[in-house]
């Protein structure tokens, strides 16, 4: 990783999705078309996000993103609801990063296996 975890933002996706991004020249999650942004996490949010949204899915990686290299807007906002459609409980008022456009490949500074990700 080329930037400290406290400065990076992270995105969980399939290995196939990052391979496609390398071909097209940018990373686009389905949520960009559906919701207008790509869901991201800070380091300490990655594993809880994985447990809530990606449990049991195989072949996942974590994109390590340098936010200073993004050309799209990065906005910190309340979390999205869980897939069960129940509101996500977050009594702390914690905010999550959302990228309002495609992620430039240059901004993806590392790709880590989700199984190997740890928040120091």
Give the tens place of pLDDT for each residue, 51-103: 989 999 999 999 999 999 999 999 999 876 655 544 444 556 789 999 999 99
Return the bridge partners of 84, or none.
none
| pLDDT value at residue 10 | 97
Q: For the chain, give the DSSP string.
A: --S-TTT-EEEEEEHHHHHHHHHHTEE--HHHHHHSSEE-B-HHHHHHHHHHH-TT-SSEEEEEE-GGG-SS-EEEEPPPPPTTSSPPP-TT---EEEESSPEEGGGEEEEEEGGG----
Task: Look at 25 and 84; give whichever has higher pLDDT.
Answer: 25
Residue 105 has pLDDT above 90, yes or no: yes
Percent of the chain past pLDDT 90, that is, above it, reads 74
**Mean pLDDT confidence for 8-30:** 96
Task: Look at 5 and 76; give whichever has higher pLDDT.
Answer: 76
CATH fold label, 9-116: ADP-ribosylation fold (3.20.170)
| pLDDT value at residue 85 | 46
**Mean pLDDT confidence for 31-53:** 93
Residue labelled with tokens 């050309």 = 71
């Amino acid at each position: 990783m080329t930037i400290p975890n406290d400065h990076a933002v992270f995105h969980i996706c399939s290995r196939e999705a990052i391979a496609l991004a390398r071909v097209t020249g940018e990373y686009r999650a389905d949520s960009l078309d559906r919701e207008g942004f790509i869901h991201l996490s800070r380091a300490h949010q990655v594993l809880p996000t994985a447990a809530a949204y990606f449990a049991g899915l195989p072949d996942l990686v974590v994109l390590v993103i340098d936010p200073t290299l993004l050309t799209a807007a990065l906005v910190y906002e309340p979390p999205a609801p869980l897939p069960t459609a129940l509101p996500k409980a977050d009594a702390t008022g914690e905010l999550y990063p959302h990228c309002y456009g495609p992620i430039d490949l240059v901004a993806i500074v590392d790709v880590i296996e989700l199984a190997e990700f740890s928040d120091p």
